[in-house]
């Protein structure tokens, strides 16, 4: 399994590794520990994790990611060859996202692997076009299409992404980003607030995850500064490239309005989600990017699975789900005063809060937002590979 970020903090690869290990596969992970947080070797969810650190990227995210990614590709290639050469078993390369796909293709072309599975988490050309420029996005699109011709199977995270990938590779399977039912906290909201030392009676809006570009926490800060209701609190939990900068700005609001906590393990992260009244699932600008219109973020599915409503951007895939079930707030304006007013209105209406929580639970049930069901499609892909021993 090839991954260009830390395995220990990435939910999807961890769940996939656990599922594959339970089927009898020996799972090795080569991962880029971007912030130097984890040991060189670790065992997590049945997988042997090898962390590589070609470059830390906390200070210069875009340049660091570009240079670090290139160095990581080389290191990952040699490390993968070393691991593959030590086994006589059939080898399946599982490449997570475009930034590991080229290495997977080279290993497959050199016949060092019996099969290549491409795990596409995002609309590649759109993400690279937005992050760098349109020329880079176009180049990524061409390279990805060429690499898909080498891949034996493709899995992705949503039906819109699957539709696009199927135009390039017919055998594309959707394995959504849904949490495991076993990980959903069983305790009540108030029990969790006591455990986490959060205000017991306040209306809490949470963001739990990596603090980085595109999460619109600038909009959160601006909105929080305009709210006058003392019963409203924002809780941000996480680290990441912008963590230090965010904490500096957050300090101006005071902990009565905004509580900031460091990165926590996955179990505790879901406790923070379940202790909330609303979760912040807003990315980029409210005029949604192409990639946002085709994806379901982890924060969205985890929140609904915990029975917690969400606040999302308009013109996104998740906005259509929120409107269908009335399980949260859809923002159609990128204005702090509008966001603040909307939050205060919901915070003062307990009837609406109860209705949205009930609707969130219903949405999670109807849409089957759980890994136990989603993983059946991953199992089918690997069962086929194990049975047929794909190699050509």
Contact by Cβ (8 Å): 338, 308: no
CATH of 181-366, one of 3.40.1350.10, 3.40.50.2300, 3.40.50.1970, 3.40.50.2000: 3.40.50.2000
pLDDT in tens, the chain (392 residues): 999 889 998 999 999 999 999 999 999 999 988 778 899 999 999 999 999 886 665 554 566 666 767 788 888 899 899 888 887 788 999 999 998 999 999 999 999 999 999 999 988 888 888 777 889 889 999 999 999 999 999 999 988 889 999 988 878 999 999 999 999 999 999 999 999 999 999 999 999 988 876 688 889 999 999 999 999 999 999 887 677 778 877 878 888 899 999 989 999 999 999 999 999 998 765 444 555 566 788 899 999 999 999 999 888 889 999 999 999 999 988 889 999 999 999 999 999 999 999 999 999 999 999 999 999 999 999 999 988 765 44
Model's pTM, two decimal places? 0.88
Q: 74 CB contacts (<8 Å, ≥6 apart)? A: none
Alpha helices in 276-349 (DSSP H): 298-305, 317-325, 336-347
Other C-beta atoms closer than 10 Å to the C-beta of 62 total 12
Residues 251-271 pLDDT 10s = 788 888 999 999 899 999 999
At residue 48, what are phi and psi to the nearest 5 degrees?
-90, 115
Q: Using alpha carbons only, give the angle 318, 324, 329 rounded to the nearest 5 degrees.
A: 60
Nearest-angstrom CA–CA distance, 95 and 117: 6
Nearest-angstrom CA–CA distance, 267 and 312: 24
Burial bucket for residue 200 (CB in 10 Å: 0-12, 13-18, 19+): exposed
CATH class label, 2-177+371-388: alpha beta
Range(s) within the chain of domains with CATH label 3.40.50.2000: 2-177+371-388, 181-366
Residues 122-152 pLDDT 10s = 888 888 887 778 898 899 999 999 999 999 9
Nearest-angstrom CA–CA distance, 290 and 316: 9
Other C-beta atoms closer than 10 Å to the C-beta of 325 total 19
Which residues are registered as beta bridge partners of 30? 2, 50
Nearest-angstrom CA–CA distance, 40 and 43: 11
E-state strands within the chain: 2-3, 27-32, 41-44, 47-52, 92-96, 115-120, 153-156, 172-174, 203-208, 232-237, 258-261, 278-281, 310-313, 328-331
The DSSP line for 14-60 is HHHHHHHHHTT--EEEEEE-TTS-S-SEEEETTEEEEEE-S---SSS
Tokens 């929120």, residue located: 322
């Amino acid at each position: 399994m090839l991954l260009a970020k830390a395995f220990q903090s990435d939910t999807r690869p961890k769940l996939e590794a656990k599922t594959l290990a339970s089927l009898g596969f020996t799972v090795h992970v080569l991962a880029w520990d971007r912030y130097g947080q984890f040991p060189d070797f670790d065992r997590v969810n049945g997988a042997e994790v090898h962390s590589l650190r070609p470059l830390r990227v906390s200070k210069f995210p875009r340049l660091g990611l570009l240079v670090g990614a290139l160095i990581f590709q080389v290191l990952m290639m040699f490390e993968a060859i070393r691991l593959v050469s030590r086994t006589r078993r059939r080898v399946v390369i599982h490449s997570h996202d475009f930034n590991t796909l080229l290495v997977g293709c080279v290993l497959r072309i050199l016949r060092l692997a019996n099969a290549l599975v491409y795990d596409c988490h995002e609309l590649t050309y759109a993400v690279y076009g937005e992050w760098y420029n349109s020329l880079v996005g176009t180049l990524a699109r061409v390279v990805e299409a060429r690499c898909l011709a080498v891949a034996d199977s493709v899995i992705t995270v949503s039906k819109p992404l699957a539709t696009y990938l199927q135009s390039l590779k017919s055998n594309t399977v959707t394995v959504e980003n849904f949490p495991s039912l076993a990980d959903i906290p069983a305790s009540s909201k108030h029990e969790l607030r006591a455990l986490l030392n959060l205000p017991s009676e306040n209306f809490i809006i949470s963001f739990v995850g990596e603090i980085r570009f595109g999460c619109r926490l600038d909009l959160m800060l601006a909105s929080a500064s305009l709210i006058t209701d003392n019963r409203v609190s924002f809780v941000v939990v996480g680290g990441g490239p912008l963590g230090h900068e965010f904490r500096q700005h957050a300090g101006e609001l005071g902990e009565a309005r905004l509580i900031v906590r460091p990165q926590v393990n996955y179990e505790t992260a879901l406790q923070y989600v379940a202790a909330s009244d609303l979760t912040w699932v807003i990315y980029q600008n409210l005029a949604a990017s192409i990639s946002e219109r085709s994806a379901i973020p982890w924060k969205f599915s985890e929140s609904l699975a915990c029975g917690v409503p969400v606040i999302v951007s308009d013109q996104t895939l998740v906005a259509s789900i929120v409107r269908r079930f009335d399980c949260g707030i859809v923002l159609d304006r990128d204005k702090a005063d509008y966001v603040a007013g909307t939050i205060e209105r919901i915070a003062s209406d307990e009837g609406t809060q109860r209705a949205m929580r009930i609707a969130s639970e219903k949405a999670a049930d109807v849409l089957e937002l759980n890994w136990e069901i989603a993983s059946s499609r991953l199992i089918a892909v690997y069962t086929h590979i194990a049975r047929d021993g794909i190699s050509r």
